[in-house]
Structure 1
Amino acid sequence: MTSQKIRQQFLDFFKDKQHKIVPSAPLVLKNDPTLMFNNAGMVPFKEYFLGQKTIKNKRIADTQKCLRVSGKHNDLEEVGIDTYHHTLFEMLGNWSFGDYFKKEAIDWAWELLTEVYKIDKSKLYVTVFVGDKQDHLDFDQEAYDFWKSHIDEDRIINGNKKDNFWEMGAQGPCGPCSEIHVDLRTEEEKAKTSGKDLVNKDHPQVVEIWNLVFMQYNRKADGSLVDLSAKHIDTGMGFERLCMALQGVTSNYDTDVFTPLISEVETITNHNYGKDNETDIAIRVIVDHLRAVAFSISDGQLPSNTGAGYVIRRILRRAIRYGFTFLDQKEPFIYKLTKTLSNQMGDVFPEIKNQEVLIHNVIKEEEHSFLRALDQGLLLLDRIIDNTKDKNISGGKVFELYDTYGFPFDLTQLIAKEKGYTVDEEGFNTHMQKQKERSKAASAVETSDWNVLVEDEEEEFIGYDNLNAKVKITQYRKVITKKDGEMYQLVFNMTPFYPEGGGQVGDKGHLEMNNGDVIYVLDTKKENNLIVHYTKHLPKNTTEIFNAVVNKEQRKLSASNHTATHLLHQALRKVLGNHVEQKGSLVKPKSLRFDFSHFAKVEPQQLQEIEDFVNARIRENLPLIEKRNVPMQEAIDEGAMALFGEKYGDSVRAIRFGKSIELCGGTHVQHTGEIWYFKIKSESAVAAGIRRIEAITNTAVGDYFVEIDENYEAIKHVLKNPKEPVKAIENLQEENANLKKQIEGFLKDKASNLKDELKDKVQQINGVNFISAEVSLDANSVKDLAFQLGGEIKDLFFIAGSNIDGKAILTIYISKNIANDKLHAGNIVRELGKLIQGGGGGQAFFATAGGKNPSGIKEALEKAKGYL
């Protein structure tokens, strides 16, 4: 049975049980501060469990892309080592929101596994929650009794809190669960040891395939449990493990989910899977990590140095490192697997096919970048090893390699071992822990529980039509961060404040109280389905009715910039081609930023065309045509563009200005003429295949033109008000170029005269011709002088010090025939550089150092003799 058929049978089964089949939500989370990625099938439905969103379909089924690489649910270090953990995996799930509960969930799970998939009942075991004294939870007798009607009691196993109480994180919805495990061992192995004894013991062939979570509690910030307003069902079945069970293999990687990718790796690397353990682990890591990185990019998360982007970069670098070390791949190759993945998964997840070119280019560029870092790291590691006398490399040096060059600890350890060295792992861990503590302290957040004043199912946003409203506080809490100190988060029954989203920053404004006092709203954000307003103070009387007022001017400017991004998107597609897709945006009152897919620098002429196109639409004064609560498919059919990586509901809001139609929740002008003017400030690269345009509109353009005019008048004044300022500047440039040529000639003459002087100052020290001098030449002239001397004097050690505009420069030249590990220009200049309060380096025969203390030059020149 193919993986495609297995997936489809699951969805068809629950469709017959009156479940609505929904598409997978994006991997990357945008409105949940507790998680970076969707790490479980239930995450997209968290708002329903918390009662923060109205339930439209009480029964749902899907296959959800999940990523487990950070936080509580982190499988990264197991991936590749065993055959059943993954970073990215599909979770098949069926959901009940206040509808059916334990009986139906258990009955249907058993029916699907044993009657549809026809798994032998003798291979199955189930677990039930035994209870927990600390949380005052009893044994799950109800689940046990339902299971008894399907399976022998000796196959029902008591499970502890770790295995049988499911929690998404430190806070949030949770509940007891029943796991279903399958025993895939041979009959001979089963005869030796009962499968019951191997459940939850990390046996590679006795694995959990389905978890039925009975969601009935909410874990609060103080650790206590409270009942949810309704009982829900949340099930998750590991698709890859299910395929292993149904395809008669004993490893997830032997299923057709992975075999096409493995086959492609074998072809590219000329290494065969199944021959030796190291190779097998490397290939498993590569095919698993490729999927995680590719799906993350397709959902909008590019590799970067911070946050979720850093996690994706770390996953990819782990794969590159395994290929480099164990498959002898010194050139990029992982990007070549993109086509195979797209062909294999593109029908189920169209985003992987739509973004195929982008994924290919981003991974290729990341591979190039990290392989260069690996080369640098290897050179530095060789130098560290050469300077390590006791055969034990310090943890601090290893951490520096890791932190500065992204050089993995285990790679350092492996290379050191090959050369007969050990690594101070404890010292490395100490440095790593200090870094984590610094990072944690910088982002530490203390959050209290919500104080609920009014039960309100869903907060209404009225900000499209109103910039002020009479509101009540429904709930609030205190938050303390290192950056902002003590803050308050307020939720209203309705709000005119737009929460940060779709690239647009949140509204600012104020709350007016009955006594005339004002509390300023400093920001507005969305958390799950709540619109949260940030203030420095809490009203004395939280139960009164307030007048909530949005800052009108800032909203108007944000709306101008947001509408301009839509027109810019349209212009880019017209001028550059329909391959252009939005990859991110930032809309603020003062400016806008727009990231898009394109694989070359946008030429100045094209930028002018883009700018002209947008301004033509502004002059047309196109009206806003807005449709709210439109069925998603209807909007798409009418030509609306949906942005990649965004999570859309069944009903959407479509925004049209002329031929520009997009799905968007942001705020916009009523007519494009309100934008006044659009001006591009810059165009640059963000990542492989991603370009960025930064631009301004409205009053910011007026300020820009005023600044340009002031600068122009200042230039004319400096040039003595010529009739033709441009020609005057060209004349100055020509004159300057001629003077530079003259200066270069004078410097050459000076260096030539100085060369003759220095040749008369040669000292013989231990068979080496030594010259040291303070010179008043720039760095290039000193270099030229050094090589001229080296061409005329054999066995030369030349050191020069120069003071250029208050900055010290040391230059060392050593004839190549005498340069060695002891007489190494790079090592010597690095030491002497300390005397000028600076540093440097270079090759064995030529090196330089710069510093801020010219007074140390004399001491450095004198100390240089000591090396001879």
Structure 2
Amino acid sequence: MKSQEIRSQFLEFFKSKSHTIVPSAPMVLKDDPTLMFVNSGMAPFKEYFLGNATPKNNRIADTQKCLRVSGKHNDLEEVGYDTYHHTLFEMLGNWSFGDYFKEEAIAWAWELLTEVFKIDKDILYVTVFEGSDDDDNLAMDTEAYDIWKKFIAEDRILKGNKKDNFWEMGEQGPCGPCSEIHVDIRSAEEKAKVDGKSLVNMDHPQVVEIWNLVFMQYNRKADGSLHTLPNKHIDTGMGFERLCMVLQNVTSNYDTDVFTPIIREIEAITNSTYGTFEKTDVAIRVIADHLRAVAFSIADGQLPSNTGAGYVIRRILRRAIRYGFTFLDTKKPFIYKLVHTLTKQMGEAFPELVQENNLISNVIKEEEASFLRTLDQGLILLDTIISESNGKTIEGSKAFELYDTFGFPIDLTALILRERGLELDEKGFEAALKEQKDRSRSATKVSTGDWIILAEDDVEEFVGYDTLETNVKITRYRKVKSKKDGELYQLVFNLTPFYPEGGGQVGDKGYLEASNGEVTYIIDTKKESNLIIHFAKNLPRNPEGDFKAIVDEKQRNRSASNHTATHLLHQALRNILGTHVTQKGSMVHSRSLRFDFSHFSKVTDEELRQVEDFVNARIQENLELEERRAIPYQQAIDEGAIALFGEKYGDAVRAIKFGKSMELCGGTHVPATGKIWHFIITSESAVASGIRRIEAITGDAAKNYFIDRSTAFAEVQKSLNNAQDPVKAVNSLQEENNVLQKQVAQLLKDKAKNIKGDLKNEISEVHGVNFLAKELDLDANGMKDLAFELGGEVDNLFLLFGSKQEGKALLTCYIDKEIVKSKNLNAGQIVRELGKHIQGGGGGQPFFATAGGKNPDGIEKALEAVKSYLN
């Protein structure tokens, strides 16, 4: 059975059980501060389990793309070494929100596996929660046990501990016992030797969990206590790749048609063979797996970067590149070539791969080229570390610097050291790594208390499109502590005019005013699990009182102006550069705007001028806002609205239109484009391959820009003696400066030639080497030219020059190449060590190197110390 058919049969089965089939949510999360990525099938439905929203149907089924590479669920280092862990995986799931419970969930799971998919009952085991005698004092899940007895022999129902059979969303939130279904696909001979039940949950590659049925019936409080939920829910997750392994009668996920087309392509490109050597197989599995994770992340809007979720994606891709580099001997980009195969394999189920195919390929190709250059640089730096080491063991702290600063993989460092008969101080490396992680955790750790419920309110209505102030009640609050922000309070109102951060737009600021005049400042607004959360430094003295919520009007209007400008900018780019342009990210706040878009070449100055003119023409037209807040999604698309990949849209959407610009958007906007006043592009740059970034300003910032430029122009004109044509005057000055610079350069050359003869007379012989150490009044280029001229005329020369230039110290070291070989000297190492005297550092090649420092008084000591290298 093909994987596409397996996926379809699962969804059709639950459709027949009155479930609504929903598409996979974007894997990259944008409004959940507790997660970077969807790491389980339930993550997109958290708001339903928490009671913060009501689903349109209490029964849902889907296949959800998930990513597990950090935090509690971290499978990254397992990937490639076994045959069933993955970074990205599909989670098939069926969900009940307060509808059916254990009886139906278990019966349907058994029916699907044994009657629809025809899995032999004799290779299945199930587990149930055995209870716990810890602080929770939970009883065994006898209800699930008794239900399972109707379908499977009791000796195949195993009791599992809290670690394996009690599922929790996190330290707080909905949780409950779970029942896992495991499959034993070992050969008959192996089964005769070892009973399968002893291998359940023991990480055996052919005795694996394929489905987990979670019975959510408790809520974990901040103090660790459990409380029964008012409504019981079902949350199930079945590993699609593992299910395919079972149904396709293979013993590895990588032998299913989910992966085999990609593996065949890797073999063809790298001239390797899967199934021959273990190290080669691991590398191929790593690349096949990581390709999927990176491709889906980029399709959902997350580009590789140096921070946050982007850093995770870059780390995954670099792991794949490094395995290809080390074990498949690939020194050129090749992973990007696999994107076409992946799209062909999975594009029907996940159309975002088709839509973003070119972008994914280009981004991966650029990342590959960049990291391969990093590996080359890292090898040079590692050579330096090895050459400076006195013993057989390389310090862990130096290896960590290579890893942390330059991104050079530690296992590649260890491999190279072993090949050269050296060892890595692994404990020192681990200590440095732990210290960094501890600092990071300490800086980001957040302690969150339980919500204090003041009033039950099913819907927290946002009224900020129509008003910037309104009367509100606080319905719940909680205290949060972090090292970064200190102690804050999170407040939720029954309704709010504060816009929560989203769609690239920052959250509103403002204040709450109590009836007695007390003011509580709102410093930020965010959205979490369908709740609009207001951050305050303090809690009102009477949180149960009546308040007026007031948004900072000036900040909101500036943000609205910039947000509308991004829509006009998007329209301008598509008109001028082409309809291939799509938004890939934005940041809108009161000061300026940032807009990322797909385009495969630098935007020329002329094109930027046309874009500016286009936007400003729309501003001058004073186009009025046409807003529809509850238009059906498909109708909006049919009418020409632009929807963004990576965004999660409901059945009804909000459409924003200014003239011919129409986009789906939840942000705030000006009532008419004339309010923007003016639009100015301040920069254009590359973010990644195929992604460009424009930064711009509007409104008050644009006015200040013109004022500052006008003031600066007046100062320049004044400096030019009020020249009538300042541009002509500046050009004249530049020409004069160029002439003078050439004259100065020639004078310095002549000066160097004049002193060359004197310096030859100062050369002395030290241990068979012609030696010279001298302080000169020359710049770096002058010393370099002089050093090479002397080196060309004097054999067997070792010299060090020092110079004081503009309050700083310079050192220049030249060593004849024959001396480098015969005496094992290295100019780069020498200037690094001598650089300590001038409070600086440097480097270069073995025969020529330079150093700079901030202590000119140390030059004399450096010149005295250099002679010791010839002892």
What TM-score bracket applies, with the shorter chain setting the length? over 0.9
1:586 aligns with 2:587: yes
2:192 maps to amino acid: A
Task: Report the 3-state secondary structure (helix = DSSP H, G, I; strand = E; otherwise coil) of the residue aligned with 1:817.
Answer: helix
1:821-840 mapped onto 2 (5 Å cutoff): 822-840=824-842
Q: For residues 284-304 of structure 1, what are the alpha-carbon distances to aligned partners after superposition, in whole Å with 9 as ceiling and x for unaligned?
A: 011001111111111111111
Task: Report the 3-state secondary structure (helix = DSSP H, G, I; strand = E; otherwise coil) of the residue aligned with 1:760.
Answer: helix
1:562 maps to amino acid: H
In structure 2, the partner of 1:30 is 30
CA–CA distance in structure 1, aligned partners of residues 164 and 70 of structure 2: 19
1:715-864 mapped onto 2 (5 Å cutoff): 715-820=716-821, 822-864=824-866
CA–CA distance in structure 2, aligned partners of residues 222 and 30 of structure 1: 28
CA–CA distance in structure 1, aligned partners of residues 185 and 686 of structure 2: 51
* 1:229 to partner: Cα distance: 2.5
CA–CA distance in structure 1, aligned partners of residues 15 and 245 of structure 2: 24
* 1:63 to partner: Cα distance: 0.4
In structure 2, the partner of 1:20 is 20
The answer to whether the 8 A contact 1:50-1:228 is kept is no
1:811 maps to amino acid: T
In structure 1, the partner of 2:130 is 130
1:337 aligns with 2:338: yes
Q: For residues 376-402 of structure 1, what are the alpha-carbon distances to aligned partners after superposition, in whole Å with 9 as ceiling and x for unaligned?
A: 222222232333343122211211111
In structure 1, the partner of 2:170 is 169
1:641 aligns with 2:642: yes
User: What TM-score does the superposition give when structure 1 sets the normalisation length?
Assistant: 0.99
1:233-312 mapped onto 2 (5 Å cutoff): 233-312=234-313
1:469-868 mapped onto 2 (5 Å cutoff): 469-820=470-821, 822-868=824-870
The answer to whether the 8 A contact 1:49-1:228 is kept is no
Deviating beyond 6 angstroms after TM superposition, the runs of 4 or more aligned structure 1 residues are none
Task: Report the 3-state secondary structure (helix = DSSP H, G, I; strand = E; otherwise coil) of the residue aligned with 1:54.
Answer: coil
Task: Report the 3-state secondary structure (helix = DSSP H, G, I; strand = E; otherwise coil) of the residue aligned with 1:610.
Answer: helix
Range with bigger deviation, 351-360 or 373-382: 373-382
The answer to whether the 8 A contact 1:392-1:422 is kept is yes
User: What TM-score does the superposition give when structure 2 sets the normalisation length?
Assistant: 0.98
CA–CA distance in structure 2, aligned partners of residues 307 and 700 of structure 1: 29
In structure 2, the partner of 1:392 is 393
* 1:552 to partner: Cα distance: 1.0
In structure 2, the partner of 1:85 is 85
- The percentage of aligned residue pairs carrying the same residue is 69
In structure 1, the partner of 2:118 is 118
1:49 maps to amino acid: F
CA–CA distance in structure 2, aligned partners of residues 418 and 644 of structure 1: 47
CA–CA distance in structure 2, aligned partners of residues 388 and 49 of structure 1: 58
* 1:276 to partner: Cα distance: 1.4
CA–CA distance in structure 2, aligned partners of residues 560 and 484 of structure 1: 29
In structure 2, the partner of 1:142 is 143
The answer to whether the 8 A contact 1:126-1:156 is kept is yes
In structure 2, the partner of 1:410 is 411
Task: Report the 3-state secondary structure (helix = DSSP H, G, I; strand = E; otherwise coil) of the residue aligned with 1:245.
Answer: helix
Change (3 A) 1:229 1:458: farther
Task: Report the 3-state secondary structure (helix = DSSP H, G, I; strand = E; otherwise coil) of the residue aligned with 2:516.
Answer: coil
CA–CA distance in structure 2, aligned partners of residues 848 and 732 of structure 1: 33
1:390-469 mapped onto 2 (5 Å cutoff): 390-469=391-470
* 1:647 to partner: Cα distance: 1.4
Q: For residues 251-299 of structure 1, what are the alpha-carbon distances to aligned partners after superposition, in whole Å with 9 as ceiling and x for unaligned?
A: 0000000000000110011110000111111110110011111111111
The answer to whether the 8 A contact 1:449-1:477 is kept is yes
Task: Report the 3-state secondary structure (helix = DSSP H, G, I; strand = E; otherwise coil) of the residue aligned with 1:185.
Answer: coil
In structure 2, the partner of 1:319 is 320
Task: Report the 3-state secondary structure (helix = DSSP H, G, I; strand = E; otherwise coil) of the residue aligned with 2:144.
Answer: helix
CA–CA distance in structure 2, aligned partners of residues 367 and 415 of structure 1: 21
* 1:818 to partner: Cα distance: 1.7
The answer to whether the 8 A contact 1:54-1:458 is kept is no
Q: Matched residue pairs, number?
A: 868
* 1:170 to partner: Cα distance: 2.1
CA–CA distance in structure 2, aligned partners of residues 724 and 423 of structure 1: 66
2:168 maps to amino acid: E
Q: For residues 676-728 of structure 1, what are the alpha-carbon distances to aligned partners after superposition, in whole Å with 9 as ceiling and x for unaligned?
A: 11111111111222111110111111111111111111111111101111111
CA–CA distance in structure 2, aligned partners of residues 809 and 313 of structure 1: 39
1:189-204 mapped onto 2 (5 Å cutoff): 189-204=190-205
Task: Report the 3-state secondary structure (helix = DSSP H, G, I; strand = E; otherwise coil) of the residue aligned with 2:73.
Answer: coil
Range with bigger deviation, 222-231 or 636-645: 222-231
The answer to whether the 8 A contact 1:443-1:482 is kept is yes
Range with bigger deviation, 763-772 or 538-547: 763-772
CA–CA distance in structure 2, aligned partners of residues 180 and 462 of structure 1: 47
The answer to whether the 8 A contact 1:557-1:590 is kept is yes
The answer to whether the 8 A contact 1:51-1:229 is kept is no
Task: Report the 3-state secondary structure (helix = DSSP H, G, I; strand = E; otherwise coil) of the residue aligned with 2:60.
Answer: strand
Range with bigger deviation, 627-636 or 37-46: 627-636
CA–CA distance in structure 1, aligned partners of residues 519 and 856 of structure 2: 58
In structure 1, the partner of 2:221 is 220
In structure 2, the partner of 1:46 is 46
Task: Report the 3-state secondary structure (helix = DSSP H, G, I; strand = E; otherwise coil) of the residue aligned with 1:86.
Answer: coil
In structure 2, the partner of 1:104 is 104
CA–CA distance in structure 2, aligned partners of residues 568 and 524 of structure 1: 26
Q: For residues 435-491 of structure 1, what are the alpha-carbon distances to aligned partners after superposition, in whole Å with 9 as ceiling and x for unaligned?
A: 111112222222211111111222110100111111000111111222222211110
CA–CA distance in structure 2, aligned partners of residues 704 and 380 of structure 1: 45
CA–CA distance in structure 2, aligned partners of residues 217 and 567 of structure 1: 49
* 1:822 to partner: Cα distance: 3.0
CA–CA distance in structure 2, aligned partners of residues 125 and 513 of structure 1: 60
* 1:856 to partner: Cα distance: 0.5
In structure 2, the partner of 1:152 is 153
**Which runs of 5 or more residues in structure 1 are unaligned?**
none
1:858 maps to amino acid: E
Range with bigger deviation, 639-648 or 222-231: 222-231
Range with bigger deviation, 293-302 or 814-823: 814-823
CA–CA distance in structure 1, aligned partners of residues 108 and 181 of structure 2: 13
Range with bigger deviation, 745-754 or 58-67: 745-754
2:367 maps to amino acid: E
CA–CA distance in structure 2, aligned partners of residues 555 and 598 of structure 1: 31
CA–CA distance in structure 1, aligned partners of residues 260 and 831 of structure 2: 54
* 1:172 to partner: Cα distance: 2.2
1:323 maps to amino acid: G
In structure 2, the partner of 1:56 is 56
Q: For residues 534-566 of structure 1, what are the alpha-carbon distances to aligned partners after superposition, in whole Å with 9 as ceiling and x for unaligned?
A: 111111111111000111111111111000000
2:91 maps to amino acid: M
1:764 maps to amino acid: E
Task: Report the 3-state secondary structure (helix = DSSP H, G, I; strand = E; otherwise coil) of the residue aligned with 1:64.
Answer: strand
CA–CA distance in structure 2, aligned partners of residues 228 and 738 of structure 1: 83
**Which runs of 5 or more residues in structure 2 are unaligned?**
none
CA RMSD, aligned part only?
A: 1.1
1:474 maps to amino acid: T
CA–CA distance in structure 1, aligned partners of residues 540 and 141 of structure 2: 45
